[in-house]
Amino acid sequence: MPRSCSIRADADTGFEIAADLANIAWLPSGVDTEVSGPRLLRLRFRDRDVEMPIAIDWVRLCAEWGADRGADYSGWLRVLRLGDNASVVSVPLHGPPGVSRTRVDAWMDEALVVSASEVHAELTSA
């Protein structure tokens, strides 16, 4: 089930910050990332090191990862327009194997809170 969070920013700004692969700050604590090639993202968490494809769709304001190779860890992030300076970030996540659905949901809730904070910080520092 997707998790979502309202943000006080237009959808384009929210997506621009969320889709900045070189500076992904919204992932839950304990998850590190790096861009490992064109449209490839490497995630490190616990004792796992996972490389997966990522596609950024600027028209739909959607980033999708892990779908191309039938990865056991996949999902997407989408920013939906609500109005002027109002949008919603929605993230469904599947996997990783061996991690409970409760834990994955907690990760997503944490990521969404951090995402909203990142957008707010970016807007107030501009």
Q: What pLDDT was estimated at residue 68? A: 56
User: Cα-flanking dihedrals φ and ψ of residue 96, to 5°?
Assistant: -75, 165
In tens, the pLDDT along 65-116 reads 875 555 566 788 899 999 888 999 888 877 667 778 888 788 788 888 887 8
- With contact defined as beta carbons under 8 Å apart, do 35 and 65 qualify? no
Q: pLDDT-based confidence at 23, cuts 50/70/90?
A: confident
CB burial readout 13-31, b (16+ within 10 A) else e: bbbbbbbeeeebebbbeeb
- With contact defined as beta carbons under 8 Å apart, do 115 and 89 qualify? yes
Domain ranges of the chain: 3-125
Q: Enter the pTM of the model.
A: 0.79
Q: What pLDDT was estimated at residue 54? A: 84
Size of the chain in residues: 126
In tens, the pLDDT along 49-71 reads 777 888 899 999 998 887 555 55
Cα 114 from Cα 27, distance rounded (Å): 8
Q: What pLDDT was estimated at residue 25? A: 67
Residue 111 CB coordination number (10 Å): 24
Q: What is the CATH number of domain 3-125?
A: 3.30.530.20
| Residue 5 pLDDT greater than 60, yes or no | yes
Distance from the first to the final alpha carbon of the chain: 34
Position 1, amino acid: M
User: What percent of the chain has pLDDT above 90?
Assistant: 13
Position 102, amino acid: T
